[in-house]
Structure 1
């Protein structure tokens, strides 16, 4: 099986030496995404709800680069800084999921509380694993 790494995805900022997207056969892996614009800026003064929305939007950009969408996601992993971010994440995810999963069926998600992310200004990071082999 050939593994293809995509070191650049249009619209995604880079925060280190890694590829934001990799493909291996039918599997597509999206590295953890923050809620930044393509230049790495946080909109809305870093508002946690906007970071969550932006992180999902960036996961969507990465998936689209691979020719996929949210219907192809097998699982999400979410990293949050601070327990106080959990209610904001839950409420915002509910709003985002209503748009991207209108049937109300959601992929698995592991939610982890962490001491910090790569930059202190980030409170949310979301990664995804998707499958190219079929749709729901």
Structure 2
């Protein structure tokens, strides 16, 4: 498992709610492109349903992380793009189902005018630091 350090509240900074202000570690850097609520066939899951879309997005992120030899425990930063900040509780619920809420990654949330398809409500990108196979030998 990657060694990560989470700092929830640096001196002089108000504590984060559900995120760490600073996360660092050693290993291989992994960048996961923004994921949307597409299933394996490229069909949108949960049209009009931010909770269903968020769950699918996190499933897609899980699969992308696995392809890089990583898990949600290795994620150091999540960036949420939502078409309405009212969708954030659904996104947080889906996030909390897959991350260690005691040591959450850093995060940013941005409301955008639109995503690249009008049916999409949520897009999330991730940065992780995965175990470096060369160092584990």
TM-score (structure 1 length as normaliser) = 0.69
Instruction: Kindly name which structure, 1 or 2, has the bigger radius of gyration based on alpha carbons.
Output: 2
1:28 corresponds in structure 2 to: 30
CA RMSD of aligned residues (A): 2.0
Q: How does 1:32-111 map to 2 (within 5 A)?
A: 32-94=34-96, 96-97=97-98, 100-101=99-100, 104-111=102-109
- How many residues get paired? 106
Aligned residue for 2:60, secondary structure, equals helix
Gap change, CA 1:87 and 1:132, over 3 Å in 2: closer
- Higher RCO (CA < 8 A, seq sep 6+): 2
The runs of 5 or more residues in structure 2 that have no matched partner are: 1-26, 133-137
**Comparing both structures, which one devotes a greater share of its residues to helix?**
1
Using the TM superposition, give the Cα deviation of residue 31 of structure 1 relative to its aligned residue in structure 2, in angstroms.
0.1
Aligned-partner Cα distance in 1 for 2:92–2:130 = 27
TM-score (structure 2 length as normaliser) = 0.69
Moved over 4 A (4+): none
